[in-house]
A and B are shown apart, each in its own frame.
Chain A
Amino acid sequence: MNLLRRWSPWALLLLALAGLIGPRLTGDAEEIVAPPFARPLWLDRSAPPNRHLLLSTKDLEASLDWQWGPPAGFALTGTYRLPEGASARLSWTGPEGSLVLAELTGAGGRFALDGRDIAFRLRLGLSPFQSPLERLFPEPGPYRLRYEGTTPPEELAADLHLSGGRWGLLGTDQRGRDVFRLFLAGIFVSLLIGLAATLLAALLGTTAGLLGGYLGGAVDGALMRLADLLLALPLLPILMVLAGLWGRGLWQLILILGLFSWMGTARTVRALTLSLREAPFVENLRALGAPTWYILGRHLLPEALPVLLATVTLGVPGAILAEAGLAFLGLSDPRLLSWGRMLHEAHSFGAFTAGAWWILLPPGLGIVTVCLAFLDLGRFLEEKADPRLREETP
Chain B
Amino acid sequence: MTYWSRRLLGALTVLFFVLTLNFALFRLMPGDPVASLIDPRFSPESKEALRKAYGLDRPQAEQFLLYLKRTVTFDFGLSFISGRPVWQELRNRLPHTVALTGSALALSGLIGTFLGVTAARRRGGLLERATLTAGALSFSFPSFFLQLLLLLLLAVFWPLFPLRGSVSVPAPQGAALIADYLHHLALPVISLVLLSFGSWALYVRNLMVKILGSEPLFLARAKGLPESILLWRHAFRTALPPLLTLVLLSLPGLLSGAVITETVFSLHGVGRFLLESIQGQDYPAAGGAFYLLALVTVASNLLADAAYGMADPRIRFERERRR
Assess the B256–A367 pair: CB atoms within 8 A.
no
A352, B163: Cβ atoms under 8 Å?
yes
Chain B at the A interface: SS class? helix
Are A372 and B293 in contact, CB atoms less than 8 angstroms apart?
A: no
**Count of A-B contacts judged by CB separation below 8 Å:** 128
Contacts of A246 in B (CB 8 A): 29
Cβ of A145 < 8 Å from any Cβ of B?
no
- Asked if A229 contacts B13 (CB within 8 A), the reply is yes
**B18 touches which one: A233, A343, A352 (CB < 8 A)?**
A233
Cross-chain contact A245 with B297 (CB below 8 angstroms): no
Residue on A nearest B18 in the bound complex, by CB: A233
Is B157 a contact partner of A329 (Cβ separation < 8 A)? no
**Contact among A234, A243, A317 for B294, CB-based, below 8 A:** A234
Give bound CA distance, A364 to B252, whole Å.
24
Q: How far is the CB of A386 from chain B (nearest CB, A)?
A: 18
CB-defined contacts of B152 to chain A, threshold 8 Å: 352, 355, 357, 360
Query: Is there contact, CB below 8 Å, between A232 and B29?
Result: no
Of all chain B residues, which has the CB nearest A370? Answer: B140
Q: How many residues of A contact B (CB 8 A)?
A: 42
0/1 per residue, A263-295, Cβ < 8 Å to B? Answer: 000000000000000000000000000000000
B144 within 8 A of A: yes
A237 and B17 within 8 A (CB): no
Q: Are B13 and A225 in contact (CB under 8 A)?
A: yes
Q: A325-B142, A328-B144, A330-B279 are in contact. Are A234 and B256 (CB under 8 A)?
A: yes
Contact B145–A236 (Cβ < 8 Å): no
**B228-271 at interface with A (beta carbon < 8 Å):** 252-253, 255-257, 259-260, 263-264, 271
Is B42's CB within 8 Å of the partner chain A?
no
Taking a contact as CB atoms under 8 Å apart, the answer to whether B252 and A231 are in contact is yes
- In the complex, are the beta carbons of A371 and B140 less than 8 A apart? yes
Q: Which A-chain residue is minimally distant from B145 (CB atoms)?
A: A364
> In the complex, what distance in Å separates the CA atom of A242 from the CA atom of B29?
10
Q: CA separation between A114 and B10, bound complex, in Å? A: 64
Which A-B residue pairs are the 4 nearest by beta carbons?
A236-B256, A244-B278, A364-B145, A371-B140
A-B contact pairs, 29 of them (CB 8 A): A229-B13, A229-B17, A233-B252, A234-B253, A234-B259, A235-B256, A236-B255, A236-B259, A236-B260, A237-B271, A237-B294, A242-B25, A245-B25, A245-B26, A317-B139, A317-B140, A324-B144, A325-B260, A328-B144, A330-B279, A331-B279, A352-B152, A355-B152, A357-B152, A360-B149, A364-B149, A368-B140, A368-B141, A371-B140
